[in-house]
Amino acid sequence: MGGTLEYLSDLLGGGGGGSSRRRYKKRKQFQTVELKVRMDCDGCEMKVRNALSSMKGVHSVEINRKQYKVTVQGYVEPHKVVKRVQATGKKAEIWPYVPYSLVAHPYAAPAYDKKAPPGYVRRVDAVMPVSSYGGPTAAGPQEERLVTMFSDDNPNACSIM
């Protein structure tokens, strides 16, 4: 009977000093983490590759030195991948670019970046789309862009006659 009380106590979160307590970690999801890391030579590339491939949970590491892009796939957390690269002495950040076709105004000041690879602009997630009525919209940025593309209220809209 004492075992049952101890089990119930552990189940309800009470003390009880039982050795049957287990702490479960939240399982990491398989994901792709893209980083911008400045690498100038083969030595830099090997240092970053070795540091990342030795991380627990890493499935693959791809490096495009021309674009300063590192792609890591595996059961990893993005902030830990950044910390691991920074431990090698390299400056690293989450990949800040998106294809310019996904941005409503790719040549506006917050999005345009002359250091971006060809066909990419800086990600502008912080800007909330505003409807023509002045308030934030319930639709996402893609839907907002499509709705205002042919709107009479938009001075830059396409006019098809």
Domain that holds residue 35: 31-95
| Percent of the chain scoring above 70 in pLDDT | 61
Q: Is residue 148 part of a domain?
A: no
Distances (CA, A) of 39 to 9, 51, 87, 121: 55, 14, 14, 20
Same domain flag for 89 and 39: yes
Specify the range with the lowest mean pLDDT, choosing from 42-51, 67-76, 121-130, 133-142.
Answer: 133-142
The predicted pLDDT at position 128 comes to 41
- How much is the average pLDDT of 20-27? 62
Of the pLDDT bands very low, low, confident and very high (cuts 50, 70, 90), residue 97 is: confident
Round to whole Å and give the CA distance between 7 and 12.
9
Both 80 and 113 in one domain: the answer is: no
Confidence of residue 71 (pLDDT cuts 50, 70, 90): very high
Q: How far is CA 23 from the centre of its chain?
A: 28
pTM of the model: 0.57
Among 30, 2, 27, 26, which residue's Cα sits nearest to residue 16?
A: 2
Tell me how many domains the chain contains. 2
Q: Considering the domain boundaries, does residue 77 fall inside one? A: yes
60, 109: one domain: no
- Same domain? For 53 and 76 the reply is yes
Last residue of a domain, one of 95, 115, 146: 95
What is the rounded CA–CA span in Å between residue 90 and residue 48? 8
